[in-house]
Amino acid sequence: MNVSLMPFDRLQPAQLEAWSNLLKSAPGHDSPFLRPEYAQLVQEVCGDVEVALVGNPQAPSALFAFQRDRRDVGWPVGKSQADVQGMAGQLGPQESLEELLRSIGLTTLHFDHILSDLEVFTPHVQYTDEAPFIDLTGGFEQYVSDRRAAGSSIISQLERKKRHLERALGPLRLVFRTEDPLDLGRLTEWKHAQLLDKHQPDVFREPWVARLIEGIAGCRTTGLEGVLSSLYAGDRLVALHLGLLSGNVLASYIPTFSAAHQKFSPGAILHLELVRSAAGQGIGRIDLGRGANRLKQRLASGAYQLAIGSADLHPWSRLLNGGWYRARRLVHALPWGQRSLRIYRRLKQRAAASQNTGSLKDR
């Protein structure tokens, strides 16, 4: 296997164009998270993005962007913040992921959002998960008609909730691209409060993730745009959403809402208004992200599969990682498993809070 390894910031314009062309030639590989512009955002924050170019480095047959740690363990670029992971192009029929790892000096590669149609990853997949999406290629009215034909009453329910919210607070107004400089701070604060309430770890407070969010919100390139949207009821801000737009695909990244108005379901209403506005702007698909909660399932037109697993060159590492995935599936499957996870998250959250308090005192 002929592989050239380069830091992202050493890529030439022709190589970045080849990256984009490889994505265009692969149906379904149109997620904003696969774009070179997204890798650029991660590079600006972390400074450690590397790119493996397979074949001729000036006209590669495949391109794989990743990050590595000090133990030579790798993740696709963006790690778990990339809602879709993959490579541009495909390896040849006689080429394997293990060969690629040896060529770029990785001992292990973890992945949790890999497109399941990338066959080179298939031997290393532990399980798959659904990533729901909303199909807007026929416009908003066609989407509504399709949902009703599928037996879903979600649209009519959200319309009723919308009227209830408007009677209480005033007319609804969605600002698809908000320019309010305070909205990004509100988005992260509201999301933090939501995760705290659910006893879930807040990855958005990690410094590199916080800087990545800022980079996404401010991104304005021809290939990728960050879209921060706000929903008002009267003059009150009730919900916010940060997404990534590439071509006619909008990827939902961070949706959140005001806890003070939770009884009106502003987050769910935001999704409906976002769908309506996106369809009017020619957006053909909204990706809702991995994991099928009830709202996603009821809004979704369909779902594609994302794969979770790891490729390990060392047998012991392969054995340990395989055992961890099996244990994880067992915990999630058993009735007491979810309760154990909630207790673990609560304890972890308290430990993190005490550490943060100590660091503030030290300052």
Whether residues 148 and 276 fall in one domain: yes
Helix (H) / strand (E) element for 130: namely strand 125-135
Domain assignment present for 163: yes
CA neighbor of 173 nearest in space, from 228, 217, 237? 237
Domain assignment present for 254: yes
Average pLDDT over residues 85-99: 94
Average pLDDT over residues 232-259: 97
pLDDT higher at 342 or 106 = 106
Domain assignment present for 15: yes
For 171, other C-beta atoms within 10 Å of its C-beta total 10
Whether residues 152 and 63 fall in one domain: no
| pLDDT score at 318 | 77
Q: Among residues of the chain, what percentage have pLDDT more than 70? A: 90
| pLDDT score at 338 | 57
Whether residues 321 and 247 fall in one domain: no
Domain assignment present for 291: no
Average pLDDT over residues 168-176: 97
**What's the distance, Cα to Cα, between the start and end of the chain in Å?**
52
Whether residues 74 and 12 fall in one domain: yes
Res 134 pLDDT > 90: yes
Average pLDDT over residues 263-277: 97
Give the structural domain span for 326: 314-356
Which CATH number covers residue 159? Answer: 3.40.630.30
pLDDT higher at 185 or 357 = 185
Domain assignment present for 167: yes
CB 52 within 8 A of CB 64: yes
| pLDDT score at 202 | 80
Report the SS3 class of residue 4. Answer: strand
Over residues 314-358, the pLDDT tens digits come to 887 777 777 777 776 676 666 665 555 555 445 544 544 443 333
- If one counts the domains in the chain, the total is 3
Domain assignment present for 73: yes
CA neighbor of 48 nearest in space, from 30, 14, 15, 73? 73
Token look-up 């209403």 returns 269
Which CATH number covers residue 106? Answer: 3.40.630
| pLDDT score at 200 | 79
Res 363 pLDDT > 90: no
Q: What is the DSSP letter of 136?
A: -
Domain assignment present for 239: yes
pTM (predicted TM-score): 0.90
pLDDT mean across residues, the chain: 90
Whether residues 89 and 222 fall in one domain: no
Cα–Cα distance between 60 and 119 in angstroms, integer?
A: 18
Task: Give residue 362's pLDDT band: very low, low, confident or very high (50, 70, 90).
Answer: very low
Over residues 74-85, the pLDDT tens digits come to 999 999 999 999
CA neighbor of 33 nearest in space, from 106, 129, 132, 113? 113
Over residues 189-229, the pLDDT tens digits come to 999 999 888 877 788 889 999 999 999 999 999 999 999 99
Q: Which has the minimum average pLDDT: 60-69, 176-185, 276-285, 342-351? A: 342-351
